[in-house]
Structure formats: C-alpha cells, structure tokens
Chains A and B, each alone.
Chain A
Amino acid sequence: MSVMVLMGSFELGIIYAIMALGVFISFRTLNMPDLSVDGSFVLGAAVSAVMTLSGHPFLALGVAFIAGCGAGSITALLHTKLKIQPLLAGILTMLALYSLNLKVMDGRANIPLINKVTVFSALQETAIGDYSKLVFSLAVLTLLLLILFLFLKTRLGFVLRATGDNDHMVRALGVNTDSVILVGLAISNGLVAVAGALIAQSQSYVDVGMGIGMVVIGLASVIIGEVVFGISSLLRRLIAVVLGSVLYRLIIAIALEIGMPATDLKLVSAVIVALAMAMPIIKKRLSVVKRKSSLRGRSKKTDA
C-alpha cells in the first residue's frame, strides 16, 4: 500500500470519525437507532458547498452544524411529540431531507468545487502545507471530541446518558426525557453534518446521493472501535470510536488494494457491520460447539 493511499485513509478516517461520534450519541448514548444521519450528512455537505461557492468555507462548518441540529430536532420531535417509532421518525426525516438538500443545492444533483477556496486549500499556503487536510481535520476532531467529553460530564450530559440507559428513572427523578432526546439528537446530527461539510470540501464535490449508507459506516466505526479498543471508560469509548473509524477506512483501502471493485463498497460495509453485530452470538455458539465436542471426546474415551 502506498503512502498516498495510507494518508488518504487516515484523512477520511478522521473526518468520518466526527460523523461516527454523532452516531455514537444516538445509537449508544441515547440507545436510539437514528437513520436521519444519511440525510443530515448530505445536508451538511450541501450547506458547505453553497457557502464555499460564495466564499465562506470556514463559516460553512458552523452553519452546517446548526443545520444538522435542526434536522436532528425534527426527528426528535416526530418521536417524542407525535410518538412515531424512532426508526420510522429517522426515515421520514431522511426522506424529507433528500428534497430539502436538492433545494439547498439550488435544484442541482451535484456541485463541483474545483478551484474554489476551501478550508484545506486556504491552509495549504501556511506552514502545514501538504498536510493541511490531515492536520486541520485532526484539529477539528480533537476539539469536538474534547467538547463532547466535557459535555458528557456535565449534569445535562449525565441525564443524556441516563435517558438512553433507563428513561423511567430519569422521569422518576423529575427530568423531561423529551427535551433530553431533543438535545441528544440535535448534537448527534450536528456532528454528522460537520463531517459532511468537511468531506464536501475535502473532495471538492457534493452529490445529493453521497449520504447513502452513512449510518451503517458510522455504526461500523463505533462497533469496530468497541471490539478492538474496549469500552472501559467514557474517554476511552470516545477515542475508540475515532480509532474504529480510521481502522474501518484502512480495511476498505486494503480491500480495494487487493482488487475489490469500488462498486462493492457498500456491500462490504454492510457485511462488516452484520459480522460485528453478530460477534457476541458467534462467540457463544463457538463455545457451545467446543464444549459439545470436548464432551463427545470424553464419552468416547469412557466407552473404550
């Protein structure tokens, strides 16, 4: 694998780690499968593209975050106020966002950003030069991870984690879980949108269909991180998500390197997630099979 490919994987891994942190909040912290991610990722990218075209690439990241928060709030309201199941609420938001994203993109299905000033090309002039993508993405990721960690240690953060764990308890202790879910999904989708915004500027191209399967990729990163790096403490869990995201990109890069056609990417993502989620069951079955065979071996000996 060439250094170029390796560095590219790291860059992508770091940017997508921001999205994976968002997915971590909905899936793990709030214990809620939120599929609006596929839409809010593109929303962030679309906002980013339009603002980059008009010469505000840095501001674009902040606006993307706010737009993502809005998308997440819609999902939360559909679920808490209208009592729509979380899965369906997410799908509805995702569907609505498809049209909305086209509106943001002024009716075009894709926007190229060739030769426009992006956050990365602006920084290429500085000392970090060719490493601008890696360094800037890492800086944004570190900042967001730190804020997220500190947030989860606040009173609101505690309540957010407890809501995913046991919402009965949170209500019994006098907190409105509806508001907590709103805050959680808003932050989650805000982070996803920031990742979309960075990807848009990084690849200088936005396509309205670029969000398909993002939730699966985010989940894959979360699970790979948990399996490989552990879940012993909160900080460790967050860092595991980041490392999981980078690892996922490396796996994909290796698969492409050994000749997998790029069109199979989503299939492979789905298989990775399915395998990772089935891990506990597979482990259990294997141990049962082992015990059975060892028992059989022993009974044969007694027969003899």
Chain B
Amino acid sequence: MLRIESLSKTFGKGSTNEKVALNEINLVLQEGEFLTIIGGNGAGKSTLLNCISGVYEIDEGRIILDSKDVTFAPEYKRSRHIGRVFQDPLRGTAHDMTIEENLAIAFAKGKSVGLQPGVTKKDMTLFKERLALLELGLENRIKQKVGLLSGGQRQALTLLMATLIKPKLLLLDEHTAALDPTIARKVLSLTRKLVAEEKLCTLMITHNMKASLEYGTRTIMMHEGKIMMDLQGQERKDMTVDRLIEQFEKRSGAELDNDRMLLG
C-alpha cells in the first residue's frame, strides 16, 4: 500500500543549523498493516509523517501510495487518500463551526466542492450513527460548535473525520499526547476499533513504549533520521518494554534520555 524508497530530508541545508531529519529511509507497508513508530526527540518521526502527507517537500527518494507515485503531488491532493490526526487537538477541527459542519467537510473529501447543499438529511443520519460509535454523546450535540468540546472530544471527532471516507493511509502523530491519561486511553482504543473495522493501513507515532507494542501489528524505532529497529511477527510478540529499551541503547550507542518516552 505504501512504499518509501531512500527518502531523505535535510532542514536548513547549507546553513550552520543544517539538520538531517531523515536519512535514506526505506519502508514498505502492506494493506491493513498497523505500524507504530517510537523514538526520541528529533528522531525524525514527525518529519516522516509530514513527508508522506506532503507538508514538506522531500530532498531525495520516492513515495509511492497504492502504486501511484505521489512524490511531487501537493499536500491537498494526497490528503484525498490520507487521513490525519495531529498532536494538537486544535489542528484537526474548525472551532467556530458546528460538529455537523465539520463532519460535512470531512465527508466531502474527494468529491467536488461547489454549490451543492453543505449537509443533507441523509448525511445527518450517517453522521449521528458514526458519532454514536464514539460513545461520547456527541450525536446529541451535533448542532453545537466544536469550540465547546474538550480536547479529548475534539481528538475523537478528528479521528472520526479522518476515517469518515475510508483513507488508503491513516497517519496519527502522537494524537493522544496532549490528552489526560483516561481520555487518551479511550481515544487509543477507539483508534484500534476504527482501524480494525475498516482494515486501515496505519502509521501511529507514540511516545509510549508500552502502547507501541500493545497496539498495531508492527513497530519501528527511529533514531537520528534512520529506522534502527523493525519488529514484527513472533519477535514483536516476545518483546517487552525493558528489552526494547535495552535494544535501543545497544543499537544506538546512546542512553535513552527521553523521560517522557519511558514514563508515558
């Protein structure tokens, strides 16, 4: 479904602040695969997702999505096949518009945007059905502005919007990091449910090592712009958090200094 070939990205090329964010990344994802990504700060996790979604132009390499080369496609065009949830709950929804209006924009993905009615009665029924899946009671608040929702509710709504039209790829960039633990767990289990239901090919960045093994079907660890560990199958099943940390330190030759990653 997704093929990344020797992808490289350097920020501030030629300046004193030059930073190699991604260094010849190769990655192939099969249909229905759920990949979790871990790594310290500056490892290149978010940059990788932003390169896939087209926020950043890449320096070298190719990105192939569903056997189409999208390396040079603009962000908005790729978005028609990619669902995204950001770390910041404010980024995924329009706060001054109602829940229903937000969903309507998500539902229009890939369709022509013109003078047709924004929401129809038929859409409404579907929206309410989907909202009920969240078990947050949002189906009864469909005419309320999104600005009135909590961060967790907004994130759950964003997740729903990202998958309302089945994407070929779902990108989750630490989408529970800004939430309190209870609601974070809820959003995570909701993620698992939606991904399983639609058999979505998913990339999820997480700062939580335990979650990285608990969720998904495959885990990669990144360090300094490279993939330094790729766990799948039996090897992943046998992996524990302690051994993961041990492995990380051995392979990177660095102490794991990210408290957040350990505590999470």
Contacts and interface: CB of A to CB of B under 8 A. Distances in A.
Interface in B70-85: 74-77, 79-80, 84
A95 interface: no
7 contacts: A153-B117, A155-B104, A158-B104, A161-B94, A171-B75, A172-B84, A172-B162
B234 interface: no
Interface in A146-204: 151, 153-159, 161-162, 165-166, 168-177
Contacts of A165: 94-97
B109 interface: yes
Given A171-B76, A174-B79, 16 more contacts: A153-B117, A155-B118, A156-B115, A158-B105, A161-B101, A162-B94, A166-B91, A166-B95, A172-B75, A172-B162, A173-B109, A174-B109, A174-B110, A175-B76, A175-B108, A176-B76
B94 A155 contact: no
B202 interface: no
B118 A172 contact: no
B91 A156 contact: no
Most chain A C-beta atoms within 10 Å of own C-beta, residue among B91, B92, B118:
B118
Interface string B52-83: 01000000000000000000001111011000
Contacts of A173: 79, 105-106, 108-109, 161
A223 B116 CA distance: 31
Nearest to B158: A169
A169 B79 CA distance: 10
A156 B118 CA distance: 8
A288 B25 CA distance: 55
Contacts of A171: 75-76, 79
B233 interface: no
Residues of A in contact with B, size category: 20 to 34
B79 A172 contact: yes
A155 B109 contact: no
Nearest to A180: B113
A37 B207 CA distance: 48
A154 B91 contact: no
Interface residues of B, number: 34
Contacts of A169: 91-94, 105
A171 B77 CA distance: 8
A157 B79 CA distance: 20
Nearest to B100: A158
A14 B84 CA distance: 45
Contact of A174 (B76, B97, B101, B117): B76
Contact of B108 (A155, A172, A176, A177): A155
Contact of A175 (B94, B113, B118, B161): B113
A105 B157 CA distance: 54
A156 B92 CA distance: 19
A246 to B, nearest CB: 25
A170 B105 contact: yes
B215 interface: no
A60 B104 CA distance: 38
Contact of B118 (A153, A170, A174): A153
Contacts of B14: none
A212 to B, nearest CB: 32
Nearest to B171: A172
B114 interface: yes
Nearest to B108: A155
Contacts of A175: 76, 105, 108, 113
Interface in B113-131: 113-118
Contacts of A156: 113-115
A218 B75 CA distance: 35
A159 B106 CA distance: 10
Given A166-B94, A172-B92, A175-B76, A155 B106 contact: no
A118 B102 CA distance: 45
Nearest to B54: A171
A170 B102 CA distance: 10
B77 A174 contact: yes
The residue in B104, B106, B108, B161 that gathers the most chain A C-beta atoms within 10 A of its C-beta is B108
Contacts of A158: 97, 101, 104-105, 108, 118
B111 to A, nearest CB: 8
Nearest to A162: B94
Contacts of A151: 115
Given A154-B114, A155-B114, A168-B91, A161 B96 contact: yes
